[in-house]
Chains A and B, each alone.
Chain A
């Protein structure tokens, strides 16, 4: 009898496939909804065909006389998108640096933590809870809450973006700080250094390139988010995409999509340049004549390009804040505060409590809401997010060997396998093609993809899952590609040198060796997918987002807030589970 050897990795992958099936089945895709309807397919073909003819002018036959030219409309909505993203990310940076430091262990361990004990420990816990709470509510939901509380104002939009972004930056900043080696800091402590000073001069410089890198990446995300916030009524790119879709002006949509895509790609390109300026060793172009201090100082390496970039970024941030309508002046401050007070003290309060003033009445109300629809919608959110990330993960694992630059060059992993010129060209072309798909899918916000797909295929779970999966496919693909291109892959090289094909090398050497790293990406994105799935329901599928927007439309702000909290609780659970699993995988 043959022996069967099935490893943990295969078992886990099989489990993922089963889980995917279960989530799809439970999302209502078991029956006729599993396949798209013919009408949707023909609409989709039209939509794709329009990609080749983006509009250069209004598509409508009649446009009001005072409407700005189409080009101006696109540019001004793009600027507004960038402006909100810039203001929000600058505010998030302040929150991120402050809270990230307070939440990091590396700082607490060097501060006078032990002496001041309980109070500071409690402060750190409070900060961590605030960070988790801030992240667990999607920026679109923060925007709904703040717009309801403060009225549609630039400030509400900026703060709505800055709360989750600041919290995410704080979380990741604290993780980056804690990942730095501490031996140099410990050494300086033994030399009599003050804790915070030693931390400032060892941990911070080591972490700085990663901190800046991540902040720049979040700016790119903020542009996507600012575009999407158009869906709550501010005229960023998302707003015009939504109205163009409403009028079925497909050519206009493509112009707006290309504008967003180009912006994201340009920002990514510039971010990479800045990142390189920080990490690149500064070399002096001239040599000192002798070793005197004056001569060495005159010929010291200069970082002009870096300083100039920093100055441009600062000027740009200031310009974004002061240009156009001031975020602070549109509505009188007193009126805003009265609105906020009414919102916080009355409207958010559960309806029975508003009537009786007794908080005990809130419990049956909450129980009823949960039992009636909240529980099912919460599960639906879980199914959507989980199905999306499994699809994205499996698809990117399969396409990675086709996309990797290093596996598809004429000498894969720098090993000569005697491949022909033609094969080398074919390899380079399909690698470029797959990487291009990663870039485009990553650059497109999941909410926008889901919105477009819902409009085309109708409100089934597929558009939401696919929108979420496509965006995450690009992200996991990129992370995996970076892993392959930046690792040594010694065993894989040996296997290639022994005559294995590149595909064989990937599936039997690279994938098993780095499976845990891929899983880290999986769990990191799973947590984000669950968070994004809570809002996708706004597009019309019975998940939490749907209940939230429904309650908001009925002006039942207490219900809206309750379902937002349920969503936050699910995200926090996901966050906690993902953190625990990732901790185990790292360990």
Chain B
């Protein structure tokens, strides 16, 4: 197995807040990983570290074997291009057409003038590439639709298509299913696991729905107060209960 992410005693603090403490784990190419834990447990911080949006306060993080602290600006950009990030709000521009939003997947690797040309005068080859990705995510007919006219579930698929167009080896998704009903959430996770298996892409997704996480992900990482609570294929009931066990006082304070 090829290790994509290596976290070695990683900690991250924001001023007074300790977001992650001493987290060590490896993630292999093609793995499907669910990140679970209560709000504020460090899930988003961990995802942003993997994408090198944040740097660890201490510990060592290697992406594709390279220590991210030692990367030059251009190498960092190259690493980022390998990692697609889907934020919670999906990061789509509502009044652009679907194919234009997908083109933005390559914003980091395409010259600005070329991107402008593709936006207004896409070539047949570019459209074919995007159309074929849209076929993979099941909405080829939406190619020319305005993104805002799509349903929530379809927009999620556009976000996944954009990640695929980026040609990334990893998709990081920050709670992409928290705003949709369980059926749509399952459908998106199924799609991602199919893509992961077919294209050997790692998918790391933070998720609040523990039922979906335990039923559909082969590996589950539990985070609590910035600490690694467990990292297993099937967490025990006690481990799950303990993960979400918060003293009453903390809930009311929150």
Pick the residue among A183, A205, A293, A296 that contacts B91 (CB under 8 A).
Answer: A183
Assembly CA distance A288 to B135 (angstroms): 15
Q: Which of B26-34, B80-88, B211-219, B245-253 contacts A (4 or more CB under 8 A)?
A: B80-88
Closest to B132 in A: A293
Question: Which residues of chain A from 526 to 556 have a CB within 8 Å of any chain B CB?
Answer: none
A192, B107: Cβ atoms under 8 Å? Answer: yes
Q: Are A300 and B143 also in contact (CB < 8 A) when A191-B107, A293-B131 are?
A: yes
How distant is A197 from chain B, measured CB to nearest CB, in Å?
Answer: 4
Interface residue? B57 (CB, 8 A): no
A193, B91: Cβ atoms under 8 Å? Answer: no
Assembly CA distance A296 to B131 (angstroms): 10
How distant is B121 from chain A, measured CB to nearest CB, in Å?
Answer: 13
Assembly CA distance A440 to B104 (angstroms): 47
B51, A190: Cβ atoms under 8 Å? Answer: yes
Q: Are A188 and B91 also in contact (CB < 8 A) when A281-B149, A296-B143 are?
A: yes
A188-221 interface bits toward B, Cβ cutoff 8 Å, 1 = contact, 0 = none: 1011111011101110011011000000000000
Question: Which residues of chain B from 50 to 91 have a CB within 8 Å of any chain A CB?
Answer: 51, 53, 77, 80-81, 84-85, 87, 89, 91
Q: Please, which residues of chain B bring their CB within 8 A of the CB of A202?
A: 93
Q: Are A190 and B92 also in contact (CB < 8 A) when A197-B107, A197-B112, A300-B144 are?
A: no
Closest to B105 in A: A191
How distant is B123 from chain A, measured CB to nearest CB, in Å?
Answer: 12
A291, B135: Cβ atoms under 8 Å? Answer: yes
B143, A191: Cβ atoms under 8 Å? Answer: no
Interface residue? A297 (CB, 8 A): yes
Pick the residue among A192, A197, A288 that contacts B80 (CB under 8 A).
Answer: A192
Q: Please, which residues of chain A bring their CB within 8 A of the CB of B81?
A: 191-192
Q: Are A201 and B149 also in contact (CB < 8 A) when A191-B108, A209-B95, A296-B143 are?
A: no
Assembly CA distance A59 to B108 (angstroms): 71
How distant is A281 from chain B, measured CB to nearest CB, in Å?
Answer: 5
Pick the residue among B53, B100, B148 that contacts A190 (CB under 8 A).
Answer: B53
Pick the residue among A201, A288, A296, A300 that contacts B96 (CB under 8 A).
Answer: A201
Interface residue? A301 (CB, 8 A): yes
Closest to A187 in B: B91
How distant is A190 from chain B, measured CB to nearest CB, in Å?
Answer: 5
Question: Which residues of chain A from 275 to 289 have a CB within 8 Å of any chain B CB?
Answer: 281-282, 288
Interface residue? B179 (CB, 8 A): no
B112, A183: Cβ atoms under 8 Å? Answer: no
B144, A188: Cβ atoms under 8 Å? Answer: no
Q: Please, which residues of chain B bring their CB within 8 A of the CB of A288?
A: 141
A190, B85: Cβ atoms under 8 Å? Answer: yes
Pick the residue among B100, B115, B127 that contacts A297 (CB under 8 A).
Answer: B127
Q: Are A193 and B108 also in contact (CB < 8 A) when A183-B87, A184-B91, A202-B93 are?
A: yes
Q: Please, which residues of chain A bring their CB within 8 A of the CB of B149?
A: 281
How distant is A299 from chain B, measured CB to nearest CB, in Å?
Answer: 9
Closest to B79 in A: A192
Assembly CA distance A192 to B80 (angstroms): 7
Pick the residue among B85, B105, B144 that contacts A296 (CB under 8 A).
Answer: B144
Q: Please, which residues of chain A bring their CB within 8 A of the CB of B148?
A: 281
Interface residue? B145 (CB, 8 A): yes
Q: Please, which residues of chain A bring their CB within 8 A of the CB of B146?
A: 281-282, 301
Assembly CA distance A404 to B89 (angstroms): 36
Q: Please, which residues of chain A bring their CB within 8 A of the CB of B131?
A: 293, 296
Closest to B166 in A: A191
Closest to B76 in A: A192
How distant is B145 from chain A, measured CB to nearest CB, in Å?
Answer: 7
Closest to B115 in A: A197
How distant is B129 from chain A, measured CB to nearest CB, in Å?
Answer: 10
Interface residue? B40 (CB, 8 A): no
Question: Which residues of chain A from 471 to 505 have a CB within 8 Å of any chain B CB?
Answer: none
Assembly CA distance A330 to B131 (angstroms): 58
Q: Please, which residues of chain A bring their CB within 8 A of the CB of B96?
A: 201, 205
B109, A206: Cβ atoms under 8 Å? Answer: no
Q: Please, which residues of chain B bring their CB within 8 A of the CB of A293?
A: 127-128, 131, 140, 143
A291, B108: Cβ atoms under 8 Å? Answer: no
Assembly CA distance A422 to B94 (angstroms): 45
Q: Please, which residues of chain A bring their CB within 8 A of the CB of B135?
A: 291
14 contacts between A and B (CB under 8 A): A183-B89, A187-B91, A190-B51, A191-B104, A192-B80, A198-B107, A201-B93, A205-B95, A205-B96, A206-B95, A293-B127, A293-B140, A296-B143, A297-B144
**Given A197-B107, A201-B119, 20 further pairs, Cβ under 8 A:** A184-B89, A187-B87, A190-B51, A191-B80, A192-B80, A193-B104, A194-B107, A194-B112, A197-B115, A200-B112, A201-B104, A201-B115, A205-B95, A281-B146, A288-B141, A293-B127, A296-B131, A296-B144, A301-B145, A301-B146
